[in-house]
Amino acid sequence: MPFFPSLDAQDKVPHAFAKFNTGIERPLIDLHQILMRSADSPFSIAQRELFAAFVSGTNACKYCTGAHSATAVEFGVEEPLISSLIDDVETADVDENMKPIFRYLKKLTLTPTKMVQSDADAVFNAGWSERALYDAIIISCTWSFMNRFVEGLGLNVIPEQFGMEGKMLHAGYDKIYDKFELK
pLDDT exceeds 70 at position 182: no
Q: Is residue 99 exposed (0-12), middle (13-18) or buried (19+ Cβ within 10 Å)?
A: middle
What single DSSP character describes residue 22?
-
- Cβ(140)–Cβ(108) below 8 Å: yes
d(CA 33, CA 16) in angstroms, rounded, equals 18
User: What one-character-per-residue DSSP string does 128-168 give?
Assistant: --HHHHHHHHHHHHHHHHHHHHHHHHTPPP-GGGHHHHHHH
pLDDT of residue 176: 78
The pLDDT assigned to 13 comes to 93
The pLDDT value recorded for residue 38 is 92
CATH (one of 1.20.1290.10, 3.40.50.1460, 3.20.20.140, 3.40.630.10) for 23-179:
1.20.1290.10
Res. 183 pLDDT band, cuts 50 70 90: low
pLDDT tens per residue, range 30-64: 999 999 999 999 999 999 999 999 999 999 999 99
Tens of pLDDT, residue by residue over 127-172, are 999 999 999 999 999 999 999 999 999 999 999 999 999 999 999 9
Confidence check: pLDDT of 177 > 80:
no
CB of 73 within 8 A of CB of 102? no
